[in-house]
């Protein structure tokens, strides 16, 4: 059970560091929303 606690603590640590890195948050939002949408609509079959 200790390994689950370690995973939880590392996850919280990563989210806290991500919260302070605003550029990375913007890039993550862009890559998982707009970039996928643009790629899906730009390709013709």
Angle at 40 between CA 34 and CA 42, to 5 degrees: 95
Q: Which two tokens stand for residue 29?
A: 């939002």
What pLDDT does residue 14 have?
Answer: 94
Distance CA 4, CA 21 (A): 26
Q: Which two tokens stand for residue 26?
A: 């913007």
Range list of H helices, the chain:
2-20, 22-32, 34-42
* Full-model pTM: 0.59
Domain parsing of the chain, residue ranges: 2-42
Residue 17 has pLDDT above 90, yes or no: yes
What pLDDT does residue 45 have?
Answer: 62
Range 21-36 average pLDDT: 91
């Amino acid at each position: 059970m200790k390994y689950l606690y370690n995973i939880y603590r590392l996850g919280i640590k990563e989210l806290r560091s991500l919260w302070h890195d605003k550029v990375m948050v913007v890039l993550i939002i862009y890559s998982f929303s707009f970039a996928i949408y643009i790629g899906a609509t730009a390709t013709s079959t």
